[in-house]
Amino acid sequence: MIKKLATIGVTVALLASSALPAFAVKPAGNLAGAQKIPWNLSAAVMPVPPYGSLDIPGSDTASKLIFNQPNGKVSAMVTGAMNGLNPDTIYTVYLSNGYTPYVFTGWNLDGVWGLDFNSTLYPSGNPYAHSVTIAGATATGSSTGNTYTASVSVVGGSVTIAATYSFGSAAFPYSYTATGTISGTGTLSGTWLGSDGDSGTWNSTSGTAVKTHTGDLGWPGQLAGTTPFTFITDSLGSGSWHYNFTGTVPAFSVWINEAGGTMLISYNLPATP
């Protein structure tokens, strides 16, 4: 049944394209016309992880998605001509609500509150535990009973903490500068240098940095009035599917899944009047 559905979809798509040239400009007052909607690999528009684990590089440009608004009883037609996928594999099509692409905007370190420092000059005390409270670009902390204030800078996946302690002379208070990186899971680690020449390594022990972002974090949900359906690829990794809408269609997107994971996500398709 799945192979038969794919064949029918190809036939209907060919009939539609023979009635109007693909990508034709719509005549004034006429809804007829087709447009090509780009595909994205899932990792390009949703956070990684979990998206991107099943992406097949090249399948987004090899596959085609055609959206057509003909005159007549059918208000819109969407056709997927899929290529570059795994051969002889069942894929699921989700006609989905529109979405806003996820964009990573940086790291927030406010949730990190424990650090360990290892000393080269005083290894017998290793590790030296630091309790720290980070609030954006500033921090307060304490270690071995001594308090400090600090500036915090995050650039991409790199972090710098420059601290000045409350002890020492007014002209030469004790200070340290710790530089490091933020792992994909939000832990911190790096090296540090003190104003007395001491140095060593450091790492976070409690709390993690959190990614900040704009856009959506995941699937926007099934488009109302539709249900998921499947198609199967041939031995070359090609297959097709077709869907007819009636009535008004809101802006929507198309998601292609395999083995429970998303690999292709379309741009948003326009709403129909």
Find the mean pLDDT for residues 23-47: 75
In a domain, 151, yes or no: yes
In a domain, 98, yes or no: yes
What integer pLDDT is reported at residue 32 of this predicted model?
55
Do 117 and 74 lie in one domain? The reply is: no
Do 239 and 146 lie in one domain? The reply is: no
In a domain, 144, yes or no: yes
In a domain, 271, yes or no: no
CATH number at residue 36: 2.60.40
Do 18 and 91 lie in one domain? The reply is: yes
Do 192 and 209 lie in one domain? The reply is: yes
In a domain, 272, yes or no: no
Domain that holds residue 79: 2-102+216-266
Do 135 and 7 lie in one domain? The reply is: no
In a domain, 17, yes or no: yes
Q: What is the pLDDT of residues 247-268, one digit of tens each?
A: 888 999 999 999 989 999 999 9
Do 64 and 127 lie in one domain? The reply is: no
Q: How far apart are the C-alpha atoms of 107 and 42, rounded to whole Å?
A: 22
Q: What is the pLDDT of residues 228-237, one digit of tens each?
A: 999 999 999 9
Q: What is the pLDDT of residues 96-150, one digit of tens each?
A: 999 999 999 999 999 999 999 999 999 999 999 999 999 999 999 999 999 999 9
Do 177 and 92 lie in one domain? The reply is: no
Do 72 and 110 lie in one domain? The reply is: no
Do 92 and 131 lie in one domain? The reply is: no
Please state the domain count of the chain: 2
Q: What is the pLDDT of residues 64-83, one digit of tens each?
A: 999 998 766 678 899 999 99
